[in-house]
């Protein structure tokens, strides 16, 4: 009776699986309609991804297992073990069970070899054949043929195998991998199921910003600093700012908006990153451009987000620009007075909050009134949204990206250098902008060749 019950359960599961596959298009359509009705962010792309991932993986994995089972049958025949085809078919089926299937398939033929052949030699040969062929398939054939697989954690997959085996027996063992991969894809696409991606996803070398962000959440300031410094020494300042610091700050903002982290966590991350930006910038001493270009970074009165501007100023310094950050919490009058004393060539204004736009507009008007020839570059989410107002107030350009702002400063520096050495260059940087060339005693170059232009910037855009 227990055998009959297991056969019945297995047959029912096979029939269910057949109908699911047969009606996959209709099921897919109904599932998309359901998720749209309950306003879950899920598209047909997610279902297509799950289907293609599972089908591609199962096809290639079946080919590998077929080769493994055929090799087992041939070796068992060569060793003289009875029923070699049966052992090969058993190895083919059981290897669908992740990690432990090959070991399970080796137990029974090893016991048969121990009972049939005298001594231990043939028994060890049979058992060793299963282990060696499984390692060859897993370590050499699968990485080449399947690649990175389906991105599941080995521990999560083992737990999944135990669950589905407890629920459905042998059919559950065979279906554990595709079912778990579908759950992982659901976690990738459905915001409410993101925890599945964290629980089931493989740690395929965490992206550096994720590891950096994790250390900050653990209040591990030395560990986060060591990671950022090591990354900076290996790849440079710009990669660590763009690929580590900024993505971590974006993740922090998103999780704080969703109330996943506390204000204390946010403050710690901001303070640590603020200190780290300056420290990383000081590790690289780049010679200043000749003639020297002075850039002043200011925040709109009331603005509290300054890290993005500080990162941009550090990138300016790597381009050879004398970039200065005025500081936080400055009023419009303080900014104007400092600008009149500092006389920067370019002022970079950051404004990310819409509530700060009136103060930003008033600041731009005051700066243009006090320094009419000043170039003002504005950036930030709120500044981009109110670009027309800022341009009308006197801004020269609204930079939506850091590279756009850097290209503008580089063009200004190049045109200014050409004007100083008397090259036949246009007198205007861009339409509507007149160059204001000032003399200093830092020396000039007399070479106007393309090679001289290349010396101005290490990586001109």
- Of 180, 198, 228, the one marking the end of a domain is 180
Structure tokens at 355: 């509530």
Distance CA 132, CA 130 (A): 6
Cβ pair 228, 276 in contact under 8 A: yes
- Burial grade of 22 (CB within 10 A; 0-12, 13-18, 19 or more): exposed
In terms of domains, do 264 and 327 share one? no
Question: Does the pLDDT at position 436 exceed 50?
Answer: no
The more confidently predicted of residues 388 and 170 is: 388
In terms of domains, do 251 and 320 share one? no
Query: β-pairing, 322-325 with 346-350?
Result: unpaired
Which residue range forms the structural domain that includes residue 218?
208-282
Structure tokens at 330: 């400055």
Res 151: pLDDT = 67
Question: Does the pLDDT at position 203 exceed 60?
Answer: no
In terms of domains, do 269 and 310 share one? no
- Pick from 63-67, 105-109, 414-418, 426-430: least confident: 426-430
Domain membership of residue 191 (yes or no) is no
Res 72: pLDDT = 92
Domain membership of residue 287 (yes or no) is no
Res 443: pLDDT = 33
Res 73: pLDDT = 92
In terms of domains, do 402 and 451 share one? yes
The more confidently predicted of residues 181 and 247 is: 247
User: What's the average model confidence in pLDDT over 167-193?
Assistant: 73
Cβ pair 51, 24 in contact under 8 A: yes
Question: Does the pLDDT at position 74 exceed 90?
Answer: yes
Cβ pair 47, 144 in contact under 8 A: no
For 138-150, b/e burial (b = at least 16 CB within 10 A) is eeebbeeebeebb
Q: Which of 83, 78, 135 is nearest to 109 (CA)?
A: 83
Res 453: pLDDT = 34
Distance CA 221, CA 424 (A): 53
In terms of domains, do 63 and 19 share one? yes
Q: Count CB atoms within 10 A of the CB of residue 367.
A: 24
- Pick from 31-45, 270-284, 401-415: least confident: 31-45
Domain membership of residue 202 (yes or no) is no
Res 3: pLDDT = 67
Question: Does the pLDDT at position 221 exceed 90?
Answer: no
The more confidently predicted of residues 298 and 162 is: 298
How do residues 256-276 score in pLDDT, each as one tens digit? 887 878 888 888 888 889 888
- Of 223, 254, 282, the one marking the end of a domain is 282
SS3 (DSSP) at 288: coil
CATH code for the domain of 221: 1.10.1240.10
φ/ψ of 325, rounded to 5, equals: -100, 125
Structure tokens at 39: 């306003």
Distance CA 294, CA 291 (A): 10
DSSP state of 192: G
Domain membership of residue 213 (yes or no) is yes
What stretch of H or E contains 379?
A: strand 375-379
In terms of domains, do 215 and 313 share one? no
For 327-345, b/e burial (b = at least 16 CB within 10 A) is eeebebeebbebbeeeebb
Distance CA 327, CA 342 (A): 14
In terms of domains, do 367 and 426 share one? yes
SS3 (DSSP) at 325: strand
Q: Count CB atoms within 10 A of the CB of residue 232.
A: 22
Q: Which of 410, 416, 458, 407 is nearest to 439 (CA)?
A: 416
Res 303: pLDDT = 87
Domain membership of residue 222 (yes or no) is yes
Classify residue 329 as left (phi > 0), alpha (psi -120 to 50) or beta. Answer: left
Instruction: Using a pLDDT cut of 90, give the percent of the chain over it.
Output: 11
Does the pTM of the predicted model rise above 0.85?
no
Q: How confident is the model at residue 449 (pLDDT cuts 50, 70, 90)?
A: very low
Distance CA 361, CA 359 (A): 5
Domain membership of residue 158 (yes or no) is yes
Structure tokens at 425: 């260059």
In terms of domains, do 212 and 321 share one? no
In terms of domains, do 224 and 130 share one? no
Number of structural domains the chain divides into: 3
In terms of domains, do 439 and 360 share one? yes
Reading across the β-sheet that carries 375-379, which strands appear in turn? 322-325, 294-299, 346-350, 375-379, 397-398
Domain membership of residue 193 (yes or no) is no
The more confidently predicted of residues 235 and 349 is: 349
Instruction: Using a pLDDT cut of 70, give the percent of the chain over it.
Output: 74
Cβ pair 346, 296 in contact under 8 A: yes
Q: How confident is the model at residue 143 (pLDDT cuts 50, 70, 90)?
A: low
User: What's the average model confidence in pLDDT over 386-415?
Assistant: 88
User: What's the average model confidence in pLDDT over 65-82?
Assistant: 91
- How far from 39 is each of 26, 32, 191, 281, 417, CA to CA, in Å? 20, 10, 11, 45, 57
CATH code for the domain of 329: 3.40.50.280
Distance CA 358, CA 428 (A): 31
Domain membership of residue 327 (yes or no) is yes
Distance CA 384, CA 400 (A): 7
Res 297: pLDDT = 92
- Pick from 273-277, 332-336, 454-458: least confident: 454-458
In terms of domains, do 47 and 157 share one? yes
Contacts of 79 (CB under 8 A, 6+ apart): 113, 122, 125, 126, 129
In terms of domains, do 245 and 383 share one? no
């Amino acid at each position: 009776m227990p055998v009959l019950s297991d056969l019945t359960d297995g047959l029912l599961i096979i029939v269910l699986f057949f109908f699911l596959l047969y009606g996959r298009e209709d099921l897919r359509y109904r599932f998309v309609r359901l998720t749209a009705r309950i306003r879950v962010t899920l598209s047909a792309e997610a279902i297509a991804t799950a289907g293609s991932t599972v089908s591609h993986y199962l096809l290639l994995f079946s080919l590998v297992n077929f080769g493994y089972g055929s090799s087992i049958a041939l070796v068992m025949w060569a060793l003289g073990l009875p029923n070699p085809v049966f052992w090969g078919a058993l190895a083919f089926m059981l290897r669908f069970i992740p990690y432990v299937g090959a070991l399970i398939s080796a137990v029974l033929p090893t016991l048969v070899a121990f009972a049939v052949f005298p001594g231990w030699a043939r028994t060890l040969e049979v058992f060793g054949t299963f282990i060696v062929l499984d390692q060859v398939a897993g370590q050499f054939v699968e990485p080449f043929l399947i690649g990175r697989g389906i991105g599941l954690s080995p521990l999560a997959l083992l737990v999944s195998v135990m669950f589905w085996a407890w629920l459905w027996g042998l059919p559950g063992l065979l279906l554990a991998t595709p079912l778990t991969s579908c759950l992982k894809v659901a976690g990738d696409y459905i915001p409410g199921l993101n925890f599945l991606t964290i629980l089931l996803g493989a740690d395929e070398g965490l992206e550096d910003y994720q590891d950096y962000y994790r250390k900050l959440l653990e209040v591990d300031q030395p560990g986060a600093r060591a990671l950022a410094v090591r990354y900076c020494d290996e790849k440079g300042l710009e990669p660590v700012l763009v690929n580590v610091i900024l993505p971590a700050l974006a993740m922090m903002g998103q999780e704080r908006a969703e109330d996943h982290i506390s204000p204390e966590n946010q403050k710690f991350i901001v303070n640590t990153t603020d200190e780290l930006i300056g420290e990383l910038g000081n590790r690289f001493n780049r010679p200043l451009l000749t003639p020297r270009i002075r850039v002043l970074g200011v925040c709109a009165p009331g603005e509290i987000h300054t890290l993005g501007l500080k990162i941009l100023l550090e990138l300016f310094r790597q381009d050879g620009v004398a970039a200065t950050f005025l500081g936080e919490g400055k009023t419009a009058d303080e900014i104007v007075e400092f600008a009149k004393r500092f006389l920067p060539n370019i002022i970079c204004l950051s404004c990310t909050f819409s509530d700060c736009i009136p103060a930003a507009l008033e600041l731009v008007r005051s700066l243009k009134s006090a320094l009419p020839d000043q170039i003002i570059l504005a950036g930030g989410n709120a500044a981009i949204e109110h670009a027309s107002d800022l341009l009308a107030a006197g801004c020269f350009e609204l930079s939506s990206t850091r590279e756009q702002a850097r290209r503008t400063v580089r063009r200004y520096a190049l045109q200014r250098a050409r004007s100083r050495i008397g090259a036949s260059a246009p007198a205007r940087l861009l339409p509507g902008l007149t160059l204001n060339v000032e003399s200093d005693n830092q020396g000039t170059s007399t070479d106007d060749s393309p090679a001289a232009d290349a010396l101005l910037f290490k990586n001109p855009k």
